[in-house]
Structure 1
Amino acid sequence: MNELVITRPRQSNEALPKELLMLADPDWLQVEKYLDRSSWIVAEIRGLVIGVCGYMPVDASSAEIMNAAVDPDFQGKGYGKQLILRALEQAMNEGYQKIIVRTGNSSLDQLGLYQKCGFRMVRIERDYFVNNYPEPIYENGIHCRDQVVLEINTRRE
């Protein structure tokens, strides 16, 4: 992993790879709602962007990870975890005390990853994806219907 470079911040006027962003959120209209309002952490290998993680403020003390994605050719190597941990560190340095992340009930790998990063499940929003996305989503052979909300408290005690 020595060749990985994680950078921050990414200028809002710099284009992020659409194909990466859509790995985490298949509805481009949803992505556009938070794209320019988010701070982005970018993972690169030899100048190639292989991962992104964006977060944006919810209120004065909390932020939400809006999109975290790693190119499929580079998944399973710990890069996603590094991106999320860097985003958590950056958000904490900006004064956010709570970070939220939302994912689908069918996103088994993501649910595991977020929990490995210290997130805890706090609630399930039933039928969120059925009611808010134009096309059905299937992952791991499971219909993505419900949104799982996880959070982590970043306060140092």
Structure 2
Amino acid sequence: MEHSIRRLKKNEKIPYELLLLADPSKEIVDSYIHRGECYVAESGEKMIGVFVLLPTRPKTVELVNIAVDEAHQRKGVGKKLVEFAVRTARKENAETIEIGTGNSSLSQLGIYQKCGFRITGIDRDFFIRHYDEPIVENGIECIDMVRLSMDL
């Protein structure tokens, strides 16, 4: 089924059910959701994906909290969201787009690199410092944040 991507309107309900798939802490989501622009992918009337573009430094944005509804994963939606975010950052005259993901997020690391992102560093123990509960993904404990970026 075809889907579309659009900016979340100011009066729309924040799609926490999707955002919390990528970031299990509502408190952390709330710390950035209003500082960035939220975009959603829709299939018909249903929101199936989300990402937030967050300005971080002059000419730099971070793609945070990219998530796809579990029923729509592994169908190319995530890659389309990443590509849309890159195009949007270019239109907004950003020179760099950054993204961070867990060391255990194997498919996400693959998607980001296929889309042109390059690994720029590791934030050691990020998930231990910022989350109360352990996060396990693909049978691997999520401990470190892998940082990636792309020059636009």
TM-score tier after normalising by the smaller chain length: over 0.9
Aligned match of 2:114 = 116
Structural mapping, 1:7-156, within 5 Å? 7=6, 9-154=7-152
Scaled by the length of structure 1, what TM-score is found? 0.93
Q: How much has 1:12 moved relative to structure 2?
A: 3.2
Checking the alignment, whether the CA contact within 8 Å between 1:107 and 1:139 is kept in structure 2 is yes
Supply the distance in 2 between the matched residues of 1:92 and 1:14 (Cα, whole angstroms).
25
**Structure 2: which 5+ residue stretches go unaligned?**
none
Supply the distance in 1 between the matched residues of 2:67 and 2:137 (Cα, whole angstroms).
15
Supply the distance in 2 between the matched residues of 1:22 and 1:61 (Cα, whole angstroms).
28
Deviations 1:119-149 (A, max 9, x none): 1000001111111111111111111110100
Structure 1 residues 37, 13: closer, same or farther in 2, change over 3 A?
Answer: farther
Supply the distance in 2 between the matched residues of 1:29 and 1:117 (Cα, whole angstroms).
30
Checking the alignment, whether the CA contact within 8 Å between 1:6 and 1:44 is kept in structure 2 is yes
Checking the alignment, whether the CA contact within 8 Å between 1:12 and 1:36 is kept in structure 2 is no
Q: How much has 1:16 moved relative to structure 2?
A: 2.8
Checking the alignment, whether the CA contact within 8 Å between 1:41 and 1:86 is kept in structure 2 is no
Deviations 1:18-48 (A, max 9, x none): 1110111011111001111111221101110
- The alignment of Structure 1 onto Structure 2 pairs a total of residues equal to 152
Query: 12-21 or 76-85, which moves further after superposition?
Result: 12-21
Task: Give the aligned CA root-mean-square deviation in angstroms.
Answer: 1.0
Supply the distance in 2 between the matched residues of 1:35 and 1:62 (Cα, whole angstroms).
17
> Deviating runs (4+, > 4 A) in structure 1?
none
Scaled by the length of structure 2, what TM-score is found? 0.96
Percent identity, aligned pairs only? 46
Supply the distance in 1 between the matched residues of 2:29 and 2:11 (Cα, whole angstroms).
15
Supply the distance in 1 between the matched residues of 2:22 and 2:11 (Cα, whole angstroms).
21
**Structure 1: which 5+ residue stretches go unaligned?**
none
Supply the distance in 2 between the matched residues of 1:150 and 1:131 (Cα, whole angstroms).
20
Checking the alignment, whether the CA contact within 8 Å between 1:55 and 1:65 is kept in structure 2 is yes
